[in-house]
Amino acid sequence: MSLYDVAVIGGGASGITAAIFAARCGAKTVILEKNARIGKKILATGNGRCNLLNANLSEDRFYGDREFVKKAFYNFPLSDMLSFFESIGLPCTELENGKMYPKSLQATSVLDLLREELSRLGVEILTDFEVKSAEKTKNGFKLISSNGFISAKKMIFACGGAAAPQFGTDGSAYKLLTSMGFKMKKTFPALVQLQTENTPKALAGLKTDAAATLFVNGKKIKSTFGEVLFTNYGISGPPIFDLSRQVSEALEKVDTPEISIDLLSDIPYHELTELLSARQKQFSYLKPENFLNGLLPKKLGAEIYKRAKTPRDMAQLIKNFKFKVIKTMGFKNAQVTAGGICTCEVLPETFMSKKQKDLYITGEMLDIDGDCGGFNLSFAWCSGALAGQDAGCEYKNDKSR
Ligand SMILES: Cc1cc2nc3c(=O)[nH]c(=O)nc-3n(C[C@H](O)[C@H](O)[C@H](O)COP(=O)(O)OP(=O)(O)OC[C@H]3O[C@@H](n4cnc5c(N)ncnc54)[C@H](O)[C@@H]3O)c2cc1C
C-alpha cells in the first residue's frame, strides 16, 4: 500500500486545485473521490458555461466571516487565479456584471484542462472512494472507505457542502470533521429558488428584468436587480438567488419573508401613473390583454391588468408585485450551502487546521458562501490553491523525488 505525501478528499473545484498546487511542489498526491469521476459539479456550473471568477471579487460579496475571506483573497488574489488558469491553458473572458467564464464558454473546457494538468503532474485519482473515516496515525493519517484505505502524511478535506446532492455533496462528509471535534455552524440552503404563495400559473417560464426586494416581517432587507424567472412553484433567477440566503435565514427563525418585484424599476411610481393614464386615453380601443403589452411582456401585462383596472392600481402593482415566500426549494435545488465547518478552525493564509497540524479544510465545506456570479468558485480555487501550496511546500527542494 502506498504512502502519499498529500491526500485530497473530494475531487471538486477546490480539491482539484489543491491537488495541482501540492503536486506542482513535488508532493506525491492523490485525490479520493466518491463519485465515478471527478469534477461532476464543475460541468453543471454557470448553466454549462462555468462562471468561474468575478472581476469584482471582494469579501463584501460573501457571508460568514468576511474578515477571513478578505485575508484569503489577499494571499491568493484574483490576479493569481487568472494566472493559474493561464498556466493550464485556459483563457478567460469577462461578460456582464464582472462575471468571468472560460473564453470557450464551455464548462467542459475547465474540467478538461484541469484534468490534463493533474495527469501531467502524475496526480493519482481514486474514484468510487468515499472516505468514511479518517484516523491519525504515527506517520500521518489513514483514510478509510468501504473499498479499502490509503495512508498520507497530510490530508486536505475538500468535500463540499450539503447543496446539490446529485453531485455527491449530501452533507455526510461534515461528520468526518465534527467527529474529530471540529466546530460546525448550522447549514441551510443558499442560491436557491423560492416557493411562493399564489404565483400565477400563467406566468410559468416567463423571464423579465426587474428589481427584487426582500422584506422580512415588513422590514426591507436587501434589493437586487436582474432577470427574474416565474415558475410553476414560485420565483427564480439570479436576483432571487441573491435574496435566497436571507430568506432561508428568516424561514429558520419562523419570520415572514416577502419578495416585492418592481417590474419597471426605471420609471418612478408617479411617472408611471401618469404614463398609464395617458395611455388609457390615447389607446382606449386596446384589448385588455394588450393594454400593457409593449411596456411589459404580454403575459405579465395581462396578469397585471386582470388584477388592477385603474392606472393608479396598475402602477402600484407593477412597482410592488408581491409574493409571500412559503419555503425555499431546499438543498436538492440549491447551488451552495450556507453554514458549515467554522472558519475559526483554520488559518486564512493556508487553510490548515489550528488544532491538527497537516490537516486542511477548503471550499464550500467551510462556513463561507458567496453571491451568485462566480464568487463561490473563486473561493474554492483560492482556498484549494493556498492549502495545496502549503501542504506541498516541504517537498519543493527535495531532489530525491
Ligand atoms: C448547479 C450549480 C451551478 C453552480 N454554478 C456556479 C457558478 O457558475 N459559479 C460559481 O462560482 N459557483 C457555482 N456553483 C457553486 C460551486 O459549484 C461550488 O460552490 C463549488 O463547486 C464548491 O467547490 P468545492 O470544491 O468546495 O466542493 P464541490 O465542488 O462540491 O466538490 C466536493 C467533492 O467532494 C466529493 N465528496 C464529498 N464527500 C466525499 C467523501 N466522503 N469522500 C470522497 N469524496 C467526497 C463530492 O463528490 C464532490 O465531488 C454552482 C453550484 C451548482 C450546484
Ligand 1 contact via 99 beta carbon (within 6 Å): no
**Cβ of 180 below 6 Å from ligand 1:** no
> Residue 301's domain spans which residues?
194-328
pTM for this model (two decimals) = 0.94
Q: Are residues 147 and 117 in the same domain?
A: yes
The CB of 10 under 6 Å from ligand 1? The reply is: yes
Q: Which atom of ligand 1 is nearest to the CA of 49?
A: 8
Co-location of 74 and 160 in the same domain: yes
CATH code of the domain containing 172: 3.50.50.60
**Does residue 400 fall inside a structural domain?**
no
The Cα–Cα gap between 385 and 380 comes to: 8
Indicate if ligand 1 lies below 6 Å from the C-beta of 41. yes
Do 264 and 341 have their domain in common? no
Q: List, in sequence order, the alpha helices (H) in 156-266.
A: 174-178, 238-252
Same domain, 15 and 148: yes
Residue with cell 469584482: 56
Name the residue at shortest CA distance from atom 38 of ligand 1. 159
Ligand 1 close to Cβ of residue 336 (< 6 A): yes
Helices (H) and strands (E) in the chain, counts: 12, 20
Residues 206 and 344 in one domain: no
How is residue 279 written as a grid cell? Answer: 395611455
- Say whether both 211 and 78 belong to one domain: no
Task: Report if residue 272 sits inside a domain.
Answer: yes
Give the closest residue (by CA) to ligand 1 atom 47: 168
Final residue before a domain boundary, out of 328, 348, 363: 328
> What are the per-10-residue average pLDDT scores of the chain (401 residues)?
91 98 98 98 97 98 96 98 98 96 98 98 98 95 94 98 97 97 96 94 96 97 96 96 96 93 98 97 93 96 94 97 96 97 98 97 98 97 98 83 60
Q: 335 in ligand 1 pocket by Cβ < 6 Å?
A: yes
CB 131 less than 6 A from any atom of ligand 1:
yes
Name which residue sits closest to atom 52 of ligand 1, judged by CA. Answer: 335
Do 129 and 205 have their domain in common? no
Dist. CA 164 → ligand 1 center (Å):
8
Q: Is residue 401 part of a domain?
A: no
Mark which of 328, 349, 374 sits at the end of a domain: 328
Residue 69, in any domain of the structure: yes
CA of 260 to the centre of ligand 1 (A): 31
Instruction: Report CA torsion sign: 364, 367, 372, 376.
Output: negative
Residue finishing a domain among 279, 310, 328:
328
320 and 347 housed in the same domain = no
Please count the structural domains in the chain: 2
| 18/106 same-domain check | yes
Residues 33 and 152 in one domain: yes
Q: Whose CA is nearest to atom 21 of ligand 1?
A: 13
With a 6 A CB cut-off, is 377 part of the ligand 1 pocket?
Answer: yes
H helices of 76-148, in order, are 78-87, 107-120
- Which parts of 211-309 fold into alpha helices (H)? 238-252, 269-282, 298-307
Say how many Å lie between the CA of residue 146 and the centre of ligand 1. 22
Residues 205 and 258 in one domain: yes
Same domain flag for 292 and 203: yes
| DSSP class of 179 | T
**Cβ 35 under 6 angstroms from ligand 1:** yes
- Give me the residue label for grid cell 471538486: 12
For every residue of 51-83, DSSP letters joined together read --EETT--GGGEEE-HHHHHHHHHHS-HHHHHH
